[in-house]
Amino acid sequence: MAAPSIEDGVAPSVARRRRLPAAVILGGTILIAMILAALMANWLAPYPFDQLHVRDRLTGPSLAYWAGTDEYGRDVLSRTMFGSRLSLFLGFAATLIALLLGVPIGLVAGYYRGLVDELLMRALDVVMSFPSLLFVMLILAITPPGLMKTALVIGILFAPPVARVTRSVTLDLMTGEFIVAARARGERAPYILLREILPNAWPAIVVEGSLRVAFAILLGAVLSFLGFGVQPPAADWGLMISTSRDFVDVAPWMAITPGLAMSLTVIAVSLLGDGLREHLDPKFRSTR
C-alpha cells in the first residue's frame, strides 16, 4: 500500500492528518470509560470495597449484588471497580518511570553514538538478560510490598526496551537535514535533542509507551496473583482471582468479573497502541 508520491512535498504533519483508525477510537473509548469508572468508584460502586455482608457470603449474582459476593460477603462488582484504580495506576506509573529513564538514555545513545552508545546498550543488554518476572518477584519478596515499589521495579525493567526504541528513532532522525542545519547553526546537544529530535521522535515513543502500559498491567496482575504485589484486604484484580481459585467450584463469579475487567482494560490499551502505531508512523515497525 504505497502512499501517493505527492506526500513527499507535503509537511509530515499534514500527511499524518488522516482519519483515526477504528482501533484507536474503540480502545480509547473503553479506556476512558475505565478511567472514569476508576475515578468515580466512590459514587458508582454500590458498596465500599471492604464492606462485609457475612450472611450473604458466596452468593451468586442478584439484584443486590450484580456480580455476586466473595467469601466474606464483599460485593465483587464494587471490588472490581475499586480494583481498576490499582491496576490503572500501576500501568501508567510504571510506564511513566520507564519513559523517564529510557527516553534520555535512548536519546543520548543515538546522538553521541560510538563508545557512549556501545556502553549504554551493553548495560541495557545486561538488564534485559534477566528473566523479568523472576527479578521483580525476588525484589518484592525480600522487601516489604507496596504499590509504588512494584511500579518502580516494573518501570526500571521496562526502561531498556523504551531506550532501544528511542535510540533507533534518534539514529534515524540524526541523518535528517534539519539536524545538519541545526548543527551548522552551532546549536548545542541539549537543544538539538530536546527541540529537534524529541518532537519528531514522540510518535514512536507514545506507541511504545502505550504497549508498555498493557504489559505493566499484566505483570502487576500476575505479581499480585502470585502473592507478591498488593496485599489483602486491598481490592486488586490479580488478588481477587487468586483468592477465587479456592472457591472456583462454588463461586465462579468471584473470578469472572475482575478477570473480564482486566482483560478488557488490556485489550483496550493494546488496541489503542496498535492503532496509534498505524496512525502515527506507518514506517515504524516494532522490533518485538
Partner 1 sequence: MTVYVLKRLAYIVAIMAIMSGLVFLSTHALPENTAQVILGDYATPETQAALEAKLGLNRPLGLQYAEWIGGLLHGNFGRSLILEQPIAPILWAALAKSAIIAVAAMMMISIIGIALGVAAAVNYKRPFDYIASALTYVGLSVPEFFWGLILILVFGSYFQWFPTSGYSEPVDGIGVFIAHLALPVITLTIGLQAHVSRLTRSSMLEALDSNYVRAARARGMPERVVIFRHALRNAMLPTITVLAQDFGFLIGGIVAVETIFAYPGVGRLLVYSLSRHDLPLMQAAVLVITAVYCLANLAADLLYGVFNPRIRYGRAVD
Minimum separation from the CB atom of position 238 to partner 1 (A): 8
Minimum separation from the CB atom of position 257 to partner 1 (A): 11
The four Cα atoms 247, 143, 216, 134 give a dihedral, to 10 degrees, of -80
Minimum separation from the CB atom of position 261 to partner 1 (A): 11
Which is closer to partner 1, CB of 192 or CB of 221? 221
Which is closer to partner 1, CB of 97 or CB of 221? 221
Residue 117 pairs in a beta bridge with none
Which is closer to partner 1, CB of 130 or CB of 191? 130
The four Cα atoms 135, 141, 142, 148 give a dihedral, to 10 degrees, of 80
Q: How far is residue 136 from each of residues 30, 129, 242, 243, 282, measured CA to CA in Å?
A: 29, 13, 18, 21, 34
- C-alpha cell recorded at residue 205: 515513543
Which is closer to partner 1, CB of 80 or CB of 244? 244
Which is closer to partner 1, CB of 54 or CB of 134? 134
Which is closer to partner 1, CB of 1 or CB of 63? 1
Minimum separation from the CB atom of position 191 to partner 1 (A): 28
Minimum separation from the CB atom of position 117 to partner 1 (A): 11
Which is closer to partner 1, CB of 11 or CB of 142? 142
Minimum separation from the CB atom of position 42 to partner 1 (A): 27
DSSP string, the chain: -PPPGGGGGS-HHHHH--PPPHHHHHHHHHHHHHHHHHHTHHHHSSS-TT---GGGTT--S-SSSTT-B-TT--BHHHHHHHHHHHHHHHHHHHHHHHHHHHHHHHHHHHHH-HHHHHHHHHHHHHHHHS-HHHHHHHHHHHS---HHHHHHHHHHHHHHHHHHHHHHHHHHHHTSHHHHHHHHTT--HHHIIIIIIHHHHHHHHHHHHHHHHHHHHHHHHHHHHHTSSSPTTS--HHHHHHHHGGGTTT-THHHHHHHHHHHHHHHHHHHHHHHHHHHH-TT-----
Minimum separation from the CB atom of position 122 to partner 1 (A): 10
Residues lying near partner 1 in the complex (CB under 8 A): 126, 129-134, 137-139, 141-143, 214, 218, 221-222, 225-228, 238, 241-242, 244-245, 248-249, 252, 255, 259, 262-263, 266-267, 270-271, 288
Which is closer to partner 1, CB of 206 or CB of 226? 226
Minimum separation from the CB atom of position 259 to partner 1 (A): 4
